[in-house]
Each structure stands twice: as structure tokens, then as C-alpha cells.
Structure 1
Amino acid sequence: MFQLGKTIVSEDILEKDFVCNLTACKGGCCVDGDAGAPLSAEETKILEAIYPKIKSYLRPEGVEAIERLGSWVVGTEQDLETPLIDNNDCAYVIFDGQTALCGIEQAYNEGIIDWKKPVSCHLYPIRIKDFTEFAAVNYDRWDICDPACTLGNELQVPVYRFVKEALIRRFGENWFAELEKVAEEYQKERRK
């Protein structure tokens, strides 16, 4: 672990390689698990505002879940989350064949909205835990992502580079530039 501004960062994001491999995993992270995607309080307001614009992109069962539960829910740990369909799929999931995709991101890609998706989804496999004085930045290892680890290793793409856009979105360009400096030094030390 190392400190970078008001973050404590796991070295795993520098050491481990990762590139999503949707052809292998079929977007399993959006349909497996026991909770919805983590949300910030600000993101709950965004979901409420964009829902009418993205509703037509969603599956009927997703619309039903959102209209029954709300565009966001409070989870068992009192965290804010996206709602689930029957405790499985994220309510915002759509499918392209057998591959799970994000209906929010689809609307974004088509220029309907200007918000890509929850930052927790954009950051994955990095998970952020906010504390009073700092945020913990950790690599979340999940066997469903083994194909992403294999592909990342083949392409030599460390986790932090794979999620560069999302890290900049969450912490800013200056923070990411500092992270790249730390990564360079870290790699030099490992080669010694």
C-alpha cells in the first residue's frame, strides 16, 4: 500500500494485469454477485434524472424492478446501490446475444445522456472505499474475471492503465499523473 494525496492505494493495481474480455466472461460482473453496483449520493440523483431518458433502452424486467424498487436502493450494508432483478442481474443490464451490457452506457454511447455509468462500474476491477480522512483504492479479485487477467497479462496492461479514464473521472488528471510516476518508480524497483 502507498499513499497518494488523500488515497491509500493497493500495489495490486500496479502489479496485476487486466483487460476486460467480454467474449469470454459475457459481462458476468453485471449479472452475478449479491448486491447492485455501489453508488454515491450524487449518482442516485443522476439515476433519478436520467431514468426517463434511458427507460426505453432497458429490458422489461429491469424497468419493472426500477419502478417497484426505485432507480437506486439502500443495500444490506446501508450502501447505496443499483437495484437488482430477482437478486441477480443489475436492473440496468441489457443483452447483446448472451453478453451482458449496460443500458445506461448504451444511451450514453448514442448521445442520449452525458453520464457514462456509475463510476464503480467504470472503475471495475478497482473498488473504492471512502473513509472520513481518505479513500482506499483496492483491486477486487473475482474468479469471474480470470479471462480479463489472462488477456491483461498477454497484452501487458496493468489494472491502473486499463481503468485510466475511470480513475481520472474519480480522482482527476493530477492524481493520475502522480500515480503514473509512482508506477514508474515501482517498476524500476522491481527490475532491480
Structure 2
Amino acid sequence: MIQIENVLVSDDVVEAKFVCDLHKCKGGCCEDGDAGAPLEKEEKRLLDEIFEAVKPYLTPEGLAAIERQGKYLYDHEFGWVTPTVNGGVCAYGYRDEKGIIKCGIEQAYYDGKVKWKKPISCHLFPIRIVEAKHATYVNYEPREDMCNPACALGKKLKMPVYQFLKEPIIRKFGEEFYEALEQVAIEYFEAKQK
């Protein structure tokens, strides 16, 4: 476990290799799970603000799910989450011409319609954040079968999880945190080679 202030980072975040391989997993993390994407408190407000700009990127099924369930809902196990279409794909997701699930919020971001990229829980995947009373836990939790291609690609490219997820780690914890994590990783690998 790596400690940076009150954040405890699993060693796997530094040791494990991972690079999403969307052509193989087809964005399965957007539909595989027990609930929609976990949302931080502030993200509910952001969804309310940007919804009209994101609406054109959503499927009729996604819009119907949002109409029935709301832009977000409370799950007793996961807290605030995005709604899903019949317990499957996230209501904000859509399939592209290759069958890959993409995020309507993220596409609106890339098209310059909104300034928020997507929920941080999605951006950080396969890292999961657990907020406890005295610490924040940063765990590496890839999906067993679905993420096998990403683990294989990460090994092939020699890309540690923390490097692959640099942008969302900085987005969540800041530049200084990332630099501290990177320094720990460098020292860890140097010590391992001795």
C-alpha cells in the first residue's frame, strides 16, 4: 500500500499493466455491473446543468430510462449512480458503428458542447475509489474476463495502470499527487531491479 497524505493507493496501481483494448472489450464496463456509474455529489449538479446539451447524443432507450428513473438515482450499495437501460448499458451510453459502447457525455465534451468529460468513476476505471472516514482508498479492480485483453495489451506495451490513467488521476487528485505517485513508482522499480 502506498500512502500519499490521507490517500492509500494499492500497490497494483503501480505494479499492474493495463491499456483499454476497446476493439476487444467493446466498452463492456459501461454495461457490465450491478448498477450504473457511481457519481460524486458535485457530478449530480453537473449532470443537471449539461443534460440538454448531452441529450442529442443519447439513444431513445437511454432517454426513456432517464425519463423513468431520473438523470441519476440512489443505489443502497453504490450511492448515487447513473440510470441503466433495463439493468444493462448506462443510459448515457450508445454503440458506435463498430459495436463499441461510447459515452454520450464524453462525445458532447469532444464536440465542445460541454466542459465536463464524464463521471470520474468512469474515467478512472479500472481504478475504484472508496471514501472512508479517515482515508481514501485507490484500488485496482479490473473485471475478470472482460479486462483480460486490456491486461494483455498493458503487458505488451509495458504500461503501468497509473501511467495509463494519468489524466483521470490528475483530474481526481491533482498534479502534485500524481507526481508523488510517479516518484514512488520510479523508486519501487529501481529497488526491484537491484
Q: For the superposition of Structure 1 and Structure 2, which TM-score range results when normalised by the shorter chain?
A: over 0.9
1:128 and 1:190 mapped to 2: Cα distance?
27
**RMSD, matched Cα:** 0.9
Q: 8 Å contact 2:35–2:78 — kept in the other structure?
A: no
1:17 and 1:78 mapped to 2: Cα distance?
27
Which secondary structure does the structure 2 equivalent of 1:113 belong to?
A: coil
Alignment partner of 1:38 is 2:38: yes
Match of 1:153 among 147, 152, 155: 155
Which secondary structure does the structure 2 equivalent of 1:90 belong to?
A: coil
Deviations 1:114-162 (A, max 9, x none): 0000001000110111112210000012121110000011001000000
After TM superposition, the structure 1 stretch with the greater mean CA deviation from structure 2, 71-80 or 23-32, is 71-80
Number of residue pairs the alignment of both structures matches = 192
Amino acid across the alignment from 1:167: I
1:63 and 1:176 mapped to 2: Cα distance?
37
- Per the alignment, residue 183 of structure 1 pairs with 185
- Per the alignment, residue 5 of structure 2 pairs with 5
User: How far off is 1:78 after superposition?
Assistant: 5.4
Which secondary structure does the structure 1 equivalent of 2:147 belong to?
A: helix
- Pair 112,95 (structure 1): closer, same or farther in 2 beyond 3 Å: same
Q: 8 Å contact 2:37–2:82 — kept in the other structure?
A: yes
2:176 and 2:78 mapped to 1: Cα distance?
32
Deviations 1:155-187 (A, max 9, x none): 010000000000000000000000011001111
- Per the alignment, residue 135 of structure 2 pairs with 134
Task: Specify every segment of 5 or more residues in structure 1 that has no aligned partner in the other structure, as ranges.
Answer: none
After TM superposition, the structure 1 stretch with the greater mean CA deviation from structure 2, 77-86 or 116-125, is 77-86
TM-score when normalising by structure 1: 0.98
User: How far off is 1:76 after superposition?
Assistant: 2.9
Amino acid across the alignment from 2:15: E
- Per the alignment, residue 14 of structure 1 pairs with 14
Deviating beyond 4 angstroms after TM superposition, the runs of 4 or more aligned structure 1 residues are: none
Deviations 1:39-70 (A, max 9, x none): 10100111111111111110001001111111
Q: 8 Å contact 2:127–2:140 — kept in the other structure?
A: yes
Amino acid across the alignment from 1:127: R
- Per the alignment, residue 28 of structure 2 pairs with 28
**TM alignment of 1:45-124, pairs within 5 A:** 45-77=45-77, 79-97=79-97, 98-124=99-125
Amino acid across the alignment from 1:32: D
Amino acid across the alignment from 1:161: Q
Q: 8 Å contact 2:38–2:78 — kept in the other structure?
A: no
Task: Specify every segment of 5 or more residues in structure 2 that has no aligned partner in the other structure, as ranges.
Answer: none
